[in-house]
A and B are shown apart, each in its own frame.
Chain A
Amino acid sequence: MNPVLRDAVMQMVPFGSRVLDLGCGDGALLAHLQRHHGCSGYGVEIDDANVLACVKQGVEVIQLNLDQGLSMFGDQSFDVVLQIDTLQHLRNAETMLQETVRVGRMGIVTFPNFAHWPNRLSVMQGHMPVTRKLPFQWYDTPNIRVATFTDFLAMATKNQLTIKNAFGLHDDGVVRWWPNARAATAVFQLSALTS
């Protein structure tokens, strides 16, 4: 996993947190949080190969389709719920965002920022962007919910979420100035307004 993204996430996760990592992939982030940050918890994955990879590296993993929701997990039952580059694959992205802050006292959501300037350039030239962060052709992309930094901000506001932190990430680190155009990855730290 990209170390810039990993480190940015780790800075927001309190030491020793109980973590639920939605779309945890091969479990690398959770393994890192367990080993170096005193965390415990579970990854959620749909892909067989990733489930196996998690078991191999000692990460507890629960094989579930996130489009079926998080009804298995209780309200506020985790310190942190992670959605690291998962949102763009979810049919019910808005529901899952609500679920993230229901289950977690804190949610951390990252996704590819579609308004990053190379993507804008690509569209202005008449093509859907194909980049390192968005490496797929439009006809075979698993990214069914492409959004911009600003779009997400609007949805979070509509859902009355508290945004504790919002910034962009690029290869060399955090992007705080004009992330909607300057960052490949959008990062949001959220909680339910009431908490």
Chain B
Amino acid sequence: MSLIASPQSLLFEQPLQLQGGGVLRGYQLTYETYGELNAQRSNAVLICHALNASHHVAGEYANQDKSQGWWDNMVGPGKPVDTNRFFVIGVNNLGSCFGSTGPMHVNPDSGRVYGADFPVVTVEDWVSAQARLLDKLGVAQLAAVMGGSLGGMQALSWSLQYPQRIRHAVVIASAPNLNAENIAFNEVARRAIVTDPDFHGGHFYAHGVVPKRGLRIARMLGHITYLSDDVMNTKFGRMLQSGQDFKYSTQEVEFQIESYLRYQGDKFSEYFDANTYLLITRALDYFDPASAFQGNLQQALASAQAQFLLVSFTTDWRFAPARSREMVQALVANQRQVSYAEIDAPHGHDAFLLDDARYLSLVRAYFERILSETPA
């Protein structure tokens, strides 16, 4: 019997002051929960999503094939984050396009769809909004907050913004900030979107079009960076899409990798919002908790009280193990409780979403430890 998920939404009337200076006067958060909050309200786990995921972490929707949550291999009944024992919350972040208030919603100030006018949101803003959701759900303290990649940044930020409200932070395939190369990739993706003639300065909704060309290219580029050289070569190599011979064409699909990337780009452009892509990549770029401490990460993490598990993957060059080690080093220097695993997986950044027995066993063991310390 698989887990049936059902999304819910809550309206927040209290304005949210944003880090960038703007204010969201009122907003909606869409979320899902799995499992039961125990009587002590001590077994809640918040899962933070990365770039293109959502509140739909686990389970599937009733009567909807292939609707598994994006981390269904990690979260669910009997899974490493066991929903028979933990109350798990997935929440769609502000500015996203899967239910929570975002650029395609109506701006109460103007009565028009936000579009490009949606205020820039940061990781810190997301965490503040998530904390308000927990208030409404009656969760004063999380047993753990967990996320991969950009989700890991939110977990890290939780430990700094609300050090007393989390007992554990599980930070996977993440980094304490983006390096120049990472910002560069984001910028190329953004330029692809913004220069698409269908973008209309971000107000394409009114024109009844979607800047799909830009979204496709953004996704193709992103996809390359989520894989490793080895995996791409193993999966595609130089295999041709059809036949044994070159077509000697500059525009037709020739190699299988081209077809694969075009397919991924097409699929993405059908469901993802262009303004959301801009907003979320910007949130990635801006995240840098050490910046308030002249770049000193050790000082930045001094306020963290949580116990940490960090995991990285050896072939992840987008969020390389060295970036995780920086965080481990800063936590060790602050004498925080931290464990760190470097999983030798071939799949690049994507590995954090895939099945690897060592990785899943480790997370399972860590959550069993959390449970053993959790007041029941």
Give the total of A residues in contact with B, Cβ under 8 Å.
19
Q: In the complex, which residues of chain B have a beta carbon less than 8 angstroms from the beta carbon of A73? A: 329, 332
The reply to whether B362 and A62 contact each other, CB–CB distance below 8 Å, is no
Check A55–B366 contact: CB distance below 8 A.
Answer: yes
The answer to whether A48 touches B358, judged by C-beta atoms less than 8 angstroms apart, is yes
Binary CB contact string for chain A from 1 to 45 against chain B (1 if under 8 A, 0 otherwise): 000000000000000001000000000000000000000101000
Residues from 80 to 122 in A contacting B, C-beta threshold 8 Å:
none
How far is B110's CA from A56's CA once the two chains are assembled, in angstroms? 55
- The residues of B that contact A72 with a CB separation of less than 8 Å are 325, 328-329, 332
With A51-B362, A52-B358, A72-B325 as contacts: A62 and B340 at CB distance below 8 Å: yes
Q: Which B residues lie within 8 Å of A77 (CB)? A: 332-333
Chain A 48-60 against B: per-residue CB contact (8 Å), 1 yes, 0 no?
A: 1001101110101
A63 in the interface (beta carbon within 8 A):
yes
Interface residues on B, range: 20 to 34
Judged by DSSP, the binding face of B is helix
Complex CA–CA separation, A26 to B174 (angstroms): 26
- B369 contacts the other chain (CB 8 A): yes
Interface status of B67 (Cβ within 8 A of chain A): no
Is A74 among interface residues, defined by CB-CB distance under 8 A? yes
- B374 contacts the other chain (CB 8 A): no
Q: Hey, which chain A residues are within 8 Å of B344, CB to CB?
A: 48
Please name all residues of chain A whose beta carbon is closer than 8 Å to the beta carbon of B328 when the two chains form the complex. 62, 72
Inter-subunit contact B361/A58 (CB<8 Å):
no
Residues on the A chain within 8 Å of B325, using CB = 72
Contact status B339-A61, CB under 8 Å: yes
* Contact bitstring B312-350, A, C-beta under 8 A = 1, else 0: 000000000000010011001101011111111000000
Do A56 and B365 touch across chains, with their CB atoms under 8 A apart? yes
Answer yes or no: B368 CB below 8 A from chain A CBs. Answer: yes
Tell me whether A42 and B332 are in contact in the complex, defined as CB-CB below 8 angstroms, given that A58-B369, A61-B340, A62-B338 are known contacts. yes
Does A62 contact B335, Cβ atoms closer than 8 Å? no
Nearest-CB distance from B260 to chain A (Å)? Answer: 31
Inter-chain pairs besides A56-B369, A63-B341, 5 sampled, C-beta below 8 Å: A55-B341, A60-B338, A61-B340, A62-B328, A63-B340
Please list the 7 inter-chain residue pairs (A to B) with the smallest Cβ-Cβ separation, ordered nearest first: A55-B365, A72-B329, A62-B340, A63-B342, A56-B365, A63-B341, A48-B358
Q: List 16 A-B contacts (CB under 8 A).
A: A42-B339, A51-B339, A51-B362, A54-B339, A55-B341, A55-B365, A56-B365, A56-B368, A60-B338, A62-B328, A62-B339, A62-B340, A64-B340, A72-B325, A74-B333, A77-B332
Binding site for B on A (CB under 8 A): 18, 40, 42, 48, 51-52, 54-56, 58, 60-64, 72-74, 77
